[in-house]
Amino acid sequence: MADRRAQVYQTRGILRRSGEGQMKGSTVLYATTASLAIACPLLAMMCLSLFASFAVLLLASPLLLIFSPLIVPAAVLLGGAVTAFALATLMAIAGISAFSWIYRSLTRKPSLQKSVRGMDGGPTMVTEAGFEAKGPDTILSADGQVQKKVQVGAPS
């Protein structure tokens, strides 16, 4: 048995003698006394709190029954007010985002080109001058002029 214990301690990287890890009886007694000195008042306060809340519930339940015709409509009104406030907030966010979108679309620089689909489904570049050029190798300069013309339509 002693060999097995020494082997377990060696595998953990700890070298101890068999009697070294035990506590004295007086240390256990002091630890138990300290834990009881802390736990007993806490347990007493928990019990006092439980009984006090139970007493308040017993005293308040007749008042809740008497005033329920006022409390229920007030709760419904409060719930409706919270819902209306949430909807108003969502509408304000939607309005701000709509105005932001309109502002960005009005202050954006006009683009020099628009991409549209041609009759045959291929990409067609339309410049501001009205020139149409098809193909992926169409290059436009900053002023909207086509630098590399691509033949439009089939060659004849």
Residue 118 has a CB neighbour count (10 Å cut-off) of 14
pLDDT at 118: 47
State the Cα angle at 19 between 16 and 24, rounded to 5°.
Answer: 125
SS3 for 117? strand
Per-residue pLDDT of 33-56, as tens digits, reads 999 999 999 999 999 999 999 999
Q: Are 104 and 120 in contact (CB under 8 A)?
A: no
Per-residue pLDDT of 87-132, as tens digits, reads 999 999 999 999 999 998 888 876 554 444 445 555 555 555 555 5
Residue 118 Ramachandran class (φ > 0 left, ψ -120 to 50 alpha, else beta)? beta
The H-or-E segment that residue 126 falls in is strand 123-127
- CA dist., res. 84 & res. 90, Å (int): 10
Per-residue pLDDT of 1-18, as tens digits, reads 555 555 555 555 555 555
Rounded to two decimals, what is the model's pTM?
0.35
Nearest-CA neighbor of 118 among 153, 88, 147? 153
